């Protein structure tokens, strides 16, 4: 692969911000009623308060300056343009770590944990615990370019990021993944095991390979859309627990996924034109998937939410990001049953995640060296519990160094 890397600075034109504010002021609000709550989707009263904050209090330039304290780059890898941050660690021998985010979040979700990993001595760690971080916007996401071809599923991501890591001089490195980033670790571990020191993840996904037993492979068996890998009758308690949770998620919370998998471009017309539409689609998932008590703003402030939303809005990549669902669905990738990743792997399982991560299932896919059930946290665990996550990342990769 040919790789060309150039410096990049995030500097949103004033004209784009002016246009955004004009659109926000002209929002046409849907009808609602006081008892609606969040069970119909994103609450309209909350969205009104968020838009008011967006217009009158949110300081994008302040967020932009905080983001630009780190070095940014654009890599052209063949025909795919990828934005990434490269943040050297402060220590004698920093461990290189590639960090892959998910949807509908972004690398802004890592802003809380970055200093804990790159400068551990300032946060109770030792200098030898430091990491040098490479954090891309996933292909087609946020500040990366649209992938200019069809069929680019999650299994096609690893060669792009590996080429960037090699160009940066990191022959071997660690890998973190959450949400789609976690799913991408699966083909990554099969395609580039020699490059990976270890894998750390908090999401595996439920479509990594066909788990149907032979007697359920009849093409005439009807299955719920999207659960075509699920066994009709799980044969053990952990499998039943996982697939029942996956079924509940699919039936009650995955309308977004059906849209993304089947008609992403139709939906792209909405979210490319309406910042409130894009924000409502994203905010719903932060509300549903995080671990909170009275309000989810205990976990995600309006600044947190809007910074993440802006990274999709400013480069008009909401519609290009959701193509990963379509391309991965219609261009599937599988490995033979029984093949697993032998790269040493650590997994954190958060109690409020969308589906449970179970050690017995993880061991079928990965060489699990470290597995921990967390006491709190949800789908965005690396943000929600950044301090605990940093401790576990340090401990895992220290174990690999000493062994």
Reduce the secondary structure of the chain to three states and give it as a string. Answer: CCEEEEEECCCCCHHHHHHHHHHHHCCCCCCCCHHHCCCCCCCHHHHHHHHHHHHHCCCHHHHHHHHCCCCEEEEEECCEEEEEEEECCCCCCCEEEEEECCCCCCHHHHCCCHHHHHCHHHHCCCHHHCEEEEEECCCCCCCCCCCCCCCCCHHHHHHHHHHHHHHCCCCCEEEEECCHHHHHHHHHHHHCHHHEEEEEECCCCCCCCCCCCHHHCCCCCCCCCCCCCCCCCCCCHHHHHHHHHHHHHHHHCCHHHHHHHHCHHHHHHHHHHCHHHHHHHHHHHHHHHCCCCCCHHHCCCHHHHHHHHHHHHCCCCHHHHCHHHHHHHHCCCCCCCCCCEEEEEEEEECCECCCCCCHHHHHHHEEEEEEEECCCCECCHHHHCHHHHHHHHHHHHHHHHHC
State the pLDDT confidence band at 337, using cuts at 50, 70 and 90.
Answer: low
Both structure tokens of 112: 């809380």
The token pair at 81 is 């343009």
Query: What are the boundaries of each domain within the chain?
Result: 3-26+38-209+253-402, 214-252
**From residue 37, how far is each of 9, 179, 199, 378 by CA, in Å?**
40, 27, 39, 21
**Which segment of 138-142, 261-265, 330-334 scores lowest on mean pLDDT?**
330-334
| CA nearest neighbour of 36 among 45, 27, 28 | 45
Q: Range with the lowest mean pLDDT among 54-68, 130-144, 209-223, 265-279?
A: 209-223
Q: What number is the average pLDDT over the span 270-297?
A: 94
Residues sharing a CB contact under 8 Å with residue 133, sequence separation 6 or more, in sequence order: 85, 86, 87, 89, 97, 99, 110, 114, 117, 118
More confident residue, 320 or 35: 320
The whole-angstrom separation of Cα 166 and Cα 3 is 10
Q: How confident is the model at residue 239 (pLDDT cuts 50, 70, 90)?
A: confident
Distance CA 234, CA 243 (A): 8
Of 93-102, 222-231, 296-305, 364-373, the poorest mean pLDDT is in 222-231
pLDDT tens profile 80-134:
999 999 999 998 999 999 999 999 999 999 999 999 999 999 998 899 999 999 9
Q: What is the pLDDT of residues 307-332, one digit of tens each?
A: 999 999 999 999 999 999 999 989 88
pLDDT tier for residue 254 given thresholds of 50, 70 and 90: confident
Among the CATH numbers 3.65.10.10, 3.90.650.10, 3.40.50.11030, 3.40.50.1820, which is that of 3-26+38-209+253-402? 3.40.50.1820
Res 178: pLDDT: 95
207 falls in which pLDDT band (50, 70, 90)? low
pLDDT at 208: 58
Task: Please give the pLDDT value at position 206.
Answer: 62
Residue 145 CB partners (closer than 8 Å, separation 6+) = 80, 81, 82
Higher pLDDT, 351 or 229: 351
Window from 62-71, 98-107, 194-203, 325-334 with minimum mean pLDDT: 325-334
* pLDDT at res. 334: 77
Torsions phi, psi of 87, nearest 5?
A: -125, 100
Distance CA 309, CA 329 (A): 25
Q: What is the mean pLDDT of the chain?
A: 93
Q: Most confidently modeled of 25-39, 68-82, 228-242?
A: 68-82
- Residues 384-391 have a mean pLDDT of 97
pLDDT value of residue 357: 92
């Amino acid at each position: 692969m040919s790789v060309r890397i150039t410096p990049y600075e995030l500097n949103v034109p004033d004209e784009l911000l002016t246009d955004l504010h004009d659109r926000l002021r002209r929002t046409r609000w849907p009808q609602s009623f006081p008892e609606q709550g969040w069970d119909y989707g994103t609450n309209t009263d909350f969205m009104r308060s968020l838009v008011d904050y967006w217009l009158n209090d949110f300081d994008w330039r302040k967020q932009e300056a905080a983001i630009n304290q780190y070095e940014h780059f654009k890599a052209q890898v063949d025909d795919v343009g990828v934005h990434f941050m490269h943040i050297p660690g402060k220590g004698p021998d920093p461990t290189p770590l590639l960090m892959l985010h998910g949807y509908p979040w972004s690398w802004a979700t890592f802003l809380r944990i970055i200093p804990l990993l790159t400068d551990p001595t300032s946060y109770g760690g030792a200098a030898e615990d430091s990491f040098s971080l490479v954090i891309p916007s996933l292909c087609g996401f946020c500040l990366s370019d649209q992938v200019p071809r069809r069929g680019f599923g999650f299994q096609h991501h690893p060669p792009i990021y590996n080429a960037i890591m090699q160009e940066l001089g990191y022959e071997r490195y660690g890998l973190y993944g959450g949400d789609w980033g976690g799913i991408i670790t699966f083909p990554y571990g099969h395609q580039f095991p020699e490059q990976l020191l270890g894998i750390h993840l908090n999401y595996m996904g439920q479509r990594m390979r066909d788990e149907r037993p032979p007697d359920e492979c009849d093409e005439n068996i009807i299955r719920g859309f999207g659960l075509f890998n699920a066994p009709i009758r799980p044969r053990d308690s952990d499998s039943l627990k996982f697939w029942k949770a996956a079924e509940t998620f699919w039936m009650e919370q995955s309308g977004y996924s059906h849209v993304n998998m089947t008609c992403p471009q139709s939906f792209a017309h909405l979210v490319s034109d309406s910042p409130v539409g894009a924000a409502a689609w994203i905010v719903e998932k932060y509300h549903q998937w995080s671990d909170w008590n009275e309000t989810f703003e205990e976990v995600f402030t309006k600044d947190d939410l809007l910074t993440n939303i802006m990274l999709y809005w400013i480069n008009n990549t909401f519609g290009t990001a959701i193509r990963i669902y379509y391309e991965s669905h219609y261009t599937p990738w599988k490995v033979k049953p029984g093949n697993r990743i032998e790269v040493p792997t650590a997994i954190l399982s958060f109690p409020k995640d969308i589906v449970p991560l179970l050690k017995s299932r993880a061991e079928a896919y990965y060489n699990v060296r470290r597995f921990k059930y967390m006491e709190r946290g949800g789908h965005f665990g690396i943000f929600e519990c950044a301090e605990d996550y940093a401790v576990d990342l340090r401990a895992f990769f220290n174990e690999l160094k000493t062994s």
